[in-house]
Structure 1
């Protein structure tokens, strides 16, 4: 991947010029493809899925949508490029999650699917492309993909913006303000090991300190989100939020601005070799996690989260 951490460009077009979305027929993959296309990101977007008829219908529909807007780019294409690589590979393929199902079985199923896709992902990314993983549990699967492929750690990044958005919304409800006025991040694992970074909370850019009761209310809200979602038994993932979030994430990566994403922790002092949500920046060779700004309690929670994820990757690799 060419570029630097400051608005790198390749030729006349900013990064990424070419994108492949694997799993583009599904709720999340199609939402991502639509958001990237309507956002005018890239010159070519390849939609890839075993359900070729659905992919072709998305290409026709999105091309018409661009026509409504009076745009010619990006070009939408059904299937991978015949040869060569792309700047960004988005992996949205996933097994369906059964409400109340066994998380270990879901992890094993998605890990197996990712293993079958790894050769295609490697070919599309080559030595310079960035791989953006959306399949869950994203942190464990990111570590598993790096171990089971030729991809470098700094080539793989996972989507992680939804947790932070839910954290800000929960804090906004407690504070009685609009969520757009609240800043703050969730780091760590996507799941029970997530770490709401209360020390990062701001309102209108000014730091805000919640009391113990307010923090408990926010935590209950944040950690209860998945249970509330699963109880709906809708049979769908959070496709709209993830599509918008991926578009925003790619825009920030393109300019070199920090963005919360799942990334490798090996370069961070005091952390095991793992993957978890942190602020990251795109570099000349891939992505790099930034040292987290955290209070003592949060720092300990983050180290525990990193260890937990690393152990889960080990267990997955050994079949335990």
Structure 2
């Protein structure tokens, strides 16, 4: 039997694997595109940007990396190219200006989303929407309301990066692989986020137990210092280099991997909560099971009374931002 022509083989390969669309090709969107290229998760990546030339340039640059990775169809496109997409990631929007409040930023980016979300839903009503634009929690809620999609199809990147930062810092503190640290940041992706120290573990042991077993110096009064290091990391990075994009792009790639491979990975992402520690009708982060259907389960993990109070305060802070937005009626 003769071999299929290359075009035929690639067509079959493409048909069996999903397409990912990235709307917004700034530093986060473009770096996410590179993370997808590196991962080999999808044979087709479409880049959409209001600046078509920027999207074309990023697509060309990424395409030239293919000889070092694997064949992928990467190109600039428009909203009709969302047809058949499994995931549409939204990284478009304005950065926060000096002195600008989060409600003001949310209002500006909500206007951007007014142009994007209806178009995406028109062409890809079955797609999972992954929101990375800040303020991510209020915009995830806004997207859910604007799109008319079931809440499982709308995921915000949430505190996936904050959780990764906490695990990194704890891993460095105790000299272990951060992947062996299990600790969560929940709530808002922002100043009111909450570290769940009560459920943090290393090798299945609480941090205090781990210190007792290994003889490592325990945290004692370091917890707030470590949390401040995690919470304020973005400010320090922006001060040093102007923006953050590598780590959040990696987190987005991890979310997409769990969706495309139906891995049911537990990740701290932002989604609609209903009666979770007294919090309802707001999008903030708790551990959620992510699979082919998007958010497949929300895990209201145990919290100490102090953690629960801070979590509820974080939800109120996000709700205050949401309430400043011109919430739309869902599209039919």
Q: How does 1:125-136 map to 2 (within 5 A)?
A: 125-126=124-125, 128-136=126-134
- What secondary structure, in the 3-state scheme, does the structure 1 residue paired with 2:47 have? strand
Q: How does 1:173-252 map to 2 (within 5 A)?
A: 173-175=172-174, 179-209=178-208, 211-232=219-240, 234-236=241-243, 238-252=244-258
Cα offset for 1:279? Answer: 1.3
CA contact (8 A) 1:264 1:289 kept: no
Match of 1:310 in 2: 319
CA contact (8 A) 2:87 2:256 kept: no
- What secondary structure, in the 3-state scheme, does the structure 1 residue paired with 2:147 have? coil
Q: How does 1:29-40 map to 2 (within 5 A)?
A: 29-40=29-40
Larger radius of gyration: 2
Describe the shift of the 1:35–1:15 C-alpha distance in structure 2 as closer, same or farther (beyond 3 A).
farther
Match of 1:104 in 2: 103
**Range with greater deviation from structure 2 (147-156 or 78-87):** 78-87
Which 5+ residue runs of structure 1 have no aligned equivalent?
1-10
CA contact (8 A) 1:172 1:182 kept: yes
Describe the shift of the 1:269–1:103 C-alpha distance in structure 2 as closer, same or farther (beyond 3 A).
closer
CA contact (8 A) 2:187 2:285 kept: yes
Question: Larger helix proportion, structure 1 or 2?
Answer: 2
CA contact (8 A) 2:258 2:292 kept: no
Match of 2:288 in 1: 280
Match of 1:5 in 2: none
Q: Distance in 2 between matches of 1:15 and 1:146?
A: 29
Match of 2:45 in 1: 45
User: Given the alignment, which residue of 263, 266, 269 partners 2:271?
Assistant: 263
Cα offset for 1:97? Answer: 2.4
Q: Distance in 1 between matches of 2:279 and 2:22?
A: 32
Match of 2:67 in 1: 67
Larger RCO (alpha carbons 8 Å, 6+ apart): 1
Cα offset for 1:241? Answer: 0.9
CA contact (8 A) 1:100 1:230 kept: no
**Range with greater deviation from structure 2 (251-260 or 132-141):** 251-260
Normalized against structure 1, the TM-score is what? Answer: 0.84
Q: Distance in 2 between matches of 1:27 and 1:201?
A: 32
Normalized against structure 2, the TM-score is what? Answer: 0.81
Q: Distance in 1 between matches of 2:19 and 2:47?
A: 11
CA contact (8 A) 1:85 1:123 kept: no
Cα offset for 1:89? Answer: 0.5
Cα offset for 1:276? Answer: 0.6
CA contact (8 A) 1:47 1:55 kept: yes
CA contact (8 A) 1:87 1:130 kept: yes
Describe the shift of the 1:283–1:14 C-alpha distance in structure 2 as closer, same or farther (beyond 3 A).
farther
- Count of residue correspondences: 303
CA contact (8 A) 2:200 2:207 kept: yes
- What secondary structure, in the 3-state scheme, does the structure 2 residue paired with 1:45 have? strand
Cα offset for 1:310? Answer: 2.4
